[in-house]
Amino acid sequence: MTRKIYDAIVIGGGIVGAACAAECALEGLNVAIVEAGIIGGGATAAGMGHLVVMDDSEAQFALTRYSQQLWNEMSDALPREVEHDACGTIWIAADEEEMAEARRKEQFYSERGVLVEVLDAHSLYEAEPNLRSGLIGGLRVPGDSVIYPPCAAQFFVDQARTKGAELFLGVRVESITEDGVRLHDGTSLSAGVIVNSAGSWSAALTRGLEVKKRKGHLVITDRYPGFVRHQLVELGYLKSAHSLTADSVAFNIQPRGTGQLLIGSSRQYNVDDSSVDTSILSRMLARAIKYLPGLGKLSSLRAWTGFRAATPDKLPLIGPHADHKRLYLATGHEGLGITTSLGTAKLLLAQIMNRETAIPVAPYLPARVTQHA
Ligand SMILES: Cc1cc2nc3c(=O)[nH]c(=O)nc-3n(C[C@H](O)[C@H](O)[C@H](O)COP(=O)(O)OP(=O)(O)OC[C@H]3O[C@@H](n4cnc5c(N)ncnc54)[C@H](O)[C@@H]3O)c2cc1C
């Protein structure tokens, strides 16, 4: 049997793999995409779809900001089912400590050209009348937006296929070989470049990869148009989301185009079981009701879980593997892979083609964690 040879094999049809495949195919590379399940069925289906500029570090800011600009440039070309909605974010301050954080964020973003607006209590309630009383203000980031991620992944795969990419759907990559991949059905594919973008499964395919699963829960309600108008996130989130060990919940809610409300979120390490954990779910909903008391009267339709792919330094791995000359990584995007998928795809292609990158790539290079593996 003749062995199929590609320029690039992309493992995983989540939003990151799909964006990378589209970027490579649009460049003219001969691409194969191998997806074990369905397109966008992993973390991409579980995620919230908040396209958000973040500032935990300069590197995180650079990649989220760059990616958001790419999303905005693409907005008109996105099909309707991607539901790109420029609702903006409001970071909510419950006390003076959190208000100080809102002001610090304001300065950080403003200095780097991101439009932000500090809200006092009056303007916070004007923007979001269903919030509980007693909050003291917040920070609005009008440039943030939301999408429906699985349809975005499908759109990127369709784009790649229009440019000739071949899709192997429902077929698992069993192993990465020296010159390609071996599939579960025994088929071997060869390529000049192999991209491991298998999200929280990526470590199973590449030895020594420090990518761990971080479980999250979400709930979706029935339709209540206008109940909230922005993606709302408590500033207390910054304290809880950073814990690398303890389970945490934080108030985070998103208005969907359908009028539904998507309620998050939780973070748990060292849990492999994907079932809904009612105790963490109750904590998460209690937290949300603390901020939006009216939520308690609304009906929810479904709760689910997903796994973020977490690296030790909370930055993704984008670029060549330190030891395998054909292997590139595009994984470890934790809670920001929907946002950063587009920036990842651009940075990956630039490295494959030996070109300058639009933002410095050093902080995301896999060598920082794989060279000592
Ligand atoms: C609760 C929750 C909320 C989130 N909210 C947000 C948010 O608001 N904004 C944001 O930017 N990010 C968010 N994220 C993060 C985001 O969802 C992920 O970072 C992103 O979806 C990762 O995409 P991916 O393509 O790397 O992984 P995945 O979507 O998991 O895709 C990996 C794919 O690889 C396939 N695969 C695995 N192993 C193999 C194999 N051996 N062979 C072939 N295929 C394989 C899987 O089937 C899967 O489809 C959230 C995540 C969670 C869990």
Spatial contact of 88 and 114, defined as CB atoms under 8 Å apart: no
pLDDT score, position 21:
99
| Cβ atoms < 10 Å from Cβ of 37 | 15
Residue with tokens 């100080």: 100
State which ligand 1 atom lies nearest to the alpha carbon of 334.
19
Under a CB-based contact definition with an 8 Å cutoff, are residues 201 and 12 in contact?
yes
Ligand 1 atom having least distance to the Cα of 333:
19
Helices (H), 313-363: 337-352
Helices 337-352 and 15-26: crossing angle in degrees, nearest 10, is 40
What is the model's pLDDT at position 373?
44
Which of 82, 87, 308 is the best mutation target for the ligand 1 pocket, counting ligand atoms within 8 Å of the beta carbon and taking the most?
Answer: 308
Which stretches of the chain score pLDDT less than 70?
Answer: 1-2, 237-245, 370-373
264: β partners: 252
β-bridge pairing 248-255 and 188-196: unpaired
What pLDDT does residue 4 have? 84
Rounded distance from Cα 308 to ligand 1 centre (Å): 7
Q: Can you list the positions of beta strands (E) in 270-326?
A: 300-310, 317-320
Question: Which residues on adjacent β-strands are paired with residue 213?
Answer: 309
Instruction: Evaluate: CB of 199 within 6 angstroms of ligand 1.
Output: yes
- Position 269 scores a pLDDT of 87
The answer to whether the CB of 98 is under 6 A from ligand 1 is no
How much is the pLDDT for 312? Answer: 93
Buried b (16+ CB within 10 A) or exposed e, 268-277: bbeeeeeeeb
The DSSP code for 85 is B
Atom number in ligand 1 closest to CA 252: 8
Q: Is the CB of 49 under 6 A from ligand 1?
A: yes
Mind listing the pLDDT tens digit for each residue in 316-355? 999 999 999 999 999 999 999 999 999 999 999 999 999 9
For residue 302, which of 281, 288, 283 has the smallest C-alpha distance?
281
Query: Distance between CA 109 and CA 345 in Å, rounded?
Result: 24
Tally of CA atoms within 13 A in the half-sphere of 27 that contains its CB: 20
